[in-house]
């Protein structure tokens, strides 16, 4: 079992719709969770961090964390073609290192 699992996609949504990206993790003691967006050939760019159960909203992005289910998700409202990218779920592990999922490719169609 991988430490952090994501559906590789591609996830295709029409412009203006809500995109829902999901991630599960195996280490029950994990406390810090991150979503990075990566465009082809570019750096992973931090878009959300979440540390407590529940929802955290920032603009069009909402991160949701459920530690009991070991599940973290990212919702993108009013999806735009510019949101098309690979979304990486990362969990902070022992000694501060990040453990990444393989990423979900999101395609927003205009």
Give the torsion sign (CA, 56, 61, 67, 68): positive
Position 54 contacts another protein (CB under 8 A): no
Position 41 contacts another protein (CB under 8 A): yes
Report which of 45, 20, 18, 30 is spatially closest to residue 99, judged by C-alpha positions: 30
Position 4 contacts another protein (CB under 8 A): yes
Position 86 contacts another protein (CB under 8 A): no
Name the pairing type of β-strands 54-58 and 4-6: unpaired
As given in the structure block, the two tokens for residue 38 are: 């990566």
Position 59 contacts another protein (CB under 8 A): no
Residues of the shown chain interacting with another protein in the complex, contacts defined by CB under 8 A: 2, 4, 32, 34, 36, 41-46, 49, 88, 95-103
């Amino acid at each position: 079992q991988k430490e952090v699992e994501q559906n590789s996609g591609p996830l295709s949504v029409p412009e203006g719709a809500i995109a829902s990206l999901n991630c599960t993790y195996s280490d029950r003691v994990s406390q810090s969770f991150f979503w990075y967006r990566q465009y082809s050939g570019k750096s992973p760019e931090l878009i959300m961090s979440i540390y407590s159960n529940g929802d955290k909203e920032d603009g069009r992005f909402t991160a949701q964390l459920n530690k009991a289910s070991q599940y973290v998700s990212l919702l993108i409202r009013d999806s735009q073609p510019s949101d098309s990218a690979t979304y990486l779920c990362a969990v902070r592990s022992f000694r501060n290192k990040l453990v990444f999922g393989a990423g979900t490719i999101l395609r927003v169609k205009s």
